[in-house]
Structure 1
Amino acid sequence: MDPLAELDTRIAGCTACPRLVAWREEVGRVKRAAYRDWTYWARPVPGFGPADASLLVIGLAPAAHGGNRTGRMFTGDRSGDVLYGALYEVGLASGPVSVSVDDGLTLRGVRVTSPVHCAPPENKPTPGERDTCRPWLVRELELLGPRLRAAVVLGAFGWQAALPAFAAAGWRLPRPRPAFAHGARVTLERAAPPTEAAGGSGPGPVTLYGCFHVSQRNTFTGRLTPDMLKDVLRAAAGEAGIPPYDARAAA
C-alpha cells in the first residue's frame, strides 16, 4: 500500500481520545434531520488530496455534520463550500463544490488536512486532544516533505498546532515563534538540510501562510472574504510551484 494511503487508513481507525470517540459516534447515531437518510462516517477523517502535493492546507478539525458525516475533509458543510469554491477559482480543484466522497472532486497539487482528525464538541478540541493527534500530522508532513513547498494554515488554532508538528517533522522554527495573523508569511528551513554526501536531495524549505479560518462566523461577518482567501491561496500556489490553471476554461 502507498505510505500515505496506509497512513489515512490508520488515522481512520484511531480511538485514542475517548471524548472525541464518544462525540463523533453520538452525532452519527442522532444525526441532523436534514441528513437522517445518511450513514455517517463517524470516524477520524484522514487528509484529502494527491500524495505528490506541494501545497498543504491545514484546518482545525472535521465538522460534526460535515466531514464527520461524509468522511472527507471540509466536505458537506458551508466552510467547505467556501474553501473548495476558492480552490476551484484559483485552479486547484476540479469543481467548486464538495458534497460527498463520490462526487468526483479532485485536487491539483494541493492536499487538505487538519491537526485534529475527529469532530470535537462545539468545534473545540482540548489541548490534550490536539497533542494526542499531532503524530498523525507529523507523519503526513514527513511523507509530503520531499515535494512540500508551502502550506496555508487556517486560523490561530491550526497555526499553533501546525508549528510544533513542522518542528517534529524536521523543520526549524524561527525564534521568537511566529505569531498567527491573516497574511502572515514565514519560511521554515530544514533543521538538517540535505548535503551533497547524502545525494543533495530531500525536503527543502516550506513557506507557511496564515489565513483566517473559513468558519461561518468569519465568512458571514466579512472578516474573511472570498477574495482574501483566494489571494492567500494564489500566493501559496505560486510559492509551491503549481502552474496557473483556469478550471473554468478547461470545463
Structure 2
Amino acid sequence: MRHDHPEGCDTPTDGPREPTGPGGPPATGGVSDPGRLSGTDDPAFPGRAGRAAVSLDVLDAEVARCRACPRLVAWREQVGREGRPAYAGWEYWARPVPGYGPDDAALLVVGLAPAAHGGNRTGRMFTGDRSGDVLYAALHRLGLASQAEATHRGDGLRLTGVRVTAPVHCAPPANRPTPGERDTCRPWLARELELLRPTVRALVVLGAFGWQAVFPALAAGGWVVPRPRPRFAHGARARLPARDGGPDLEVFGCYHVSQRNTFTGVLTPDMLTDVLGDAARAAGLPLAP
C-alpha cells in the first residue's frame, strides 16, 4: 500500500509574485511567468543555480523560476489556467513552490510534491488543502506553528524552528513525479539541506517517496548515509553522522498526511504529533505543554 501522496504545499519568498484569492493578497500576477530567463528550462539549471545560492532566500527565489521539467511545467500551468470551481477568483501560483520556514530551522519536514490545487494554487508549501490542515494543526499543538490553519500566503502563519519542503517542487500529473523529475529536482533539496546544516538536527520524512528521495540529497548535503539505506516505516528512525565531524542528523519516517491516509485512519493526528514531537525533541526545540 502506498502511503505517500502530494501535499498541501510549499512557500516562496518575496521575490516571486503573490497569488490571489478570497481573503488573500491583491492580484499582482498569475500563471504567466516573467522569470522565464535564459537557461531556466535547462535540466542542469537546478544544479547550477542551487550551487550558486548563498542563502535560503536566494535559493527559494531560484526554485520559483525553474522550468527544467517540461511535463511538470505544462501540467502546473494547465491546472493554473483551468482552476477548479471551488476556487473561482483565485489567481493560481502555477510555478515551483519553494520551502517555507526560518533559515535557522532545527527541524526540517520533507513531503512529496505540491498539490495541484493546494500549493500550486497558493504558492506556499502545504497550504490550501486538507493535508496542510493536518500538518499545521499538529505543529500548532506542539507550539511550533503560530496557528492551526494555512489558507494563503499572508494568512499570518509563522513556524518556529521548523521548515517544510519537498523533493519535487512542482505539482505532478496524477500526483506522481517520474524518477527523472525527482532526480532533476534533487539539487534544490541538497542545497537546502547544505544551507541548513549549521542548525538542522532532525528531519521528518512524510511518505515512502520522500524517504527514497531524501537520502541521496542528504549524501550530497554532507551526511554519511548507511548501506544499506534505512527502510521506510512509520516511526522509523536513523542517525546520520556528518561527513565533516559536525553534529549528527536524526531522520524520522512518518506516513504522509494525504487525505487517503488521514480519512482512513492510516495516519491519525496523535500518530503524526508523536513523530513530530519526537523529532522536535531530538532537534532541541522547546514544545508546548
TM norm structure 1: 0.93
Once residues 205 and 13 of structure 1 are traced to their aligned partners in structure 2, the CA distance between those partners, rounded to angstroms, is 33
Q: Give 1:140-151 correspondences, 5 Å limit.
A: 140-151=192-203
Equivalents in 2 of 1:17, 1:176: separation in Å?
Answer: 30
Question: 1:153 aligns to what?
Answer: 205
- State the secondary structure of the residue aligned to 1:210: strand
Q: Any residues of structure 2 matched to 1:18-29 within 5 Å, and which?
A: 18-29=70-81
Partner of 1:128: 180
Q: Note the C-alpha offset of 1:192.
A: 2.5
Q: Could you tell me which of 82, 87, 90 is aligned with 2:134? A: 82
2:215 matched residue in structure 1: 163
1:211 counterpart residue number: 254
Q: Is residue 2:94 matched to residue 1:51? A: no
Q: Deviations over 1:6-30 (max 9, x none)?
A: 0000000000000000000000000
| TM-fit CA distance, 1:2 | 7.0
Structure 1: runs of 5+ lacking an equivalent = 194-202, 247-251
Distance 2:136 2:287 in 1: 17
TM-score by structure 2 length?
0.81
Query: Of the candidates 209, 228, 237, which is equivalent to residue 185 of structure 1?
Result: 237
8 Å Cα contact 2:201-2:283 kept in structure 1: yes
Q: Give the whole-Å Cα distance in 2 for the aligned partners of 1:65 and 1:143.
A: 29
Partner of 2:22: none
The runs of 4+ residues in structure 1 deviating greater than 4 Å are none
Identity score, percent: 68
Separation in structure 2 between the aligned mates of residue 79 and residue 28 of structure 1, nearest angstrom: 20
Deviation at 1:74? 0.4
SS in 2 for 1:190: coil
2:286 maps to 243
Q: Distance in 2 between matches of 1:36 and 1:23?
A: 19
- What SS is found at the alignment partner of 2:241? strand
Equivalent residue of 1:29, what SS? helix
1:38 equivalent to 2:81? Answer no
2:272 aligned residue: 229
Aligned-pair CA distance for 1:244: 1.7
Specify the code of the residue in structure 2 equivalent to 1:236: A
